[in-house]
């Protein structure tokens, strides 16, 4: 509410560079893990849903028997924001994310048309 009309031009990204392990370690904590969530908020965000694939928490789905698998590369989430919302060209995106993976099938669904 505090953003008022500026909300329509605001995209907020909440992410971390690491997740947490699914199982406790020997000191009853959770070490740095792999998989994590990325939250997008703001007026241009096509929200209200989860995108990506949920690998599950079964032992067979965990990486090294302890980590949630990474289902989507963070660059594939940030790319449409940088391109569509901030207007970066393909050349500029290549500089921001050199050797980035190809497009993710849910990529175009991040922002409203």
Per-residue exposure over 44-73, b if at least 16 CB sit within 10 Å of its own CB, e if not? bbeeeeebbeeeeeeeeebeeebbbeeebe
10-residue mean pLDDT profile of the chain (113 residues): values are: 94 89 80 87 92 86 88 86 92 87 69 79
Give the position of tokens 């391109």: 83
Instruction: Residue 107: name the closest of 69, 70, 81, 68 by CA.
Output: 81
pTM for the full model?
0.80
């Amino acid at each position: 509410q505090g953003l008022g009309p500026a909300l329509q031009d605001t995209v907020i990204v909440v992410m971390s560079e690491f997740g947490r392990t699914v199982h406790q370690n020997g000191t009853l904590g959770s070490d740095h893990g792999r998989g994590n969530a990325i939250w997008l908020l703001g007026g241009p965000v096509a929200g209200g849903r989860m995108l990506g694939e949920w690998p599950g928490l079964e032992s067979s789905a965990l990486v090294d028997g302890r980590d949630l698998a990474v289902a989507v590369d963070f660059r594939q989430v940030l790319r449409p924001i940088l391109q569509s919302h901030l207007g970066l060209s393909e050349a500029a995106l290549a500089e921001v994310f050199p050797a980035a993976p190809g497009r993710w099938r849910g990529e175009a669904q991040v922002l409203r048309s």
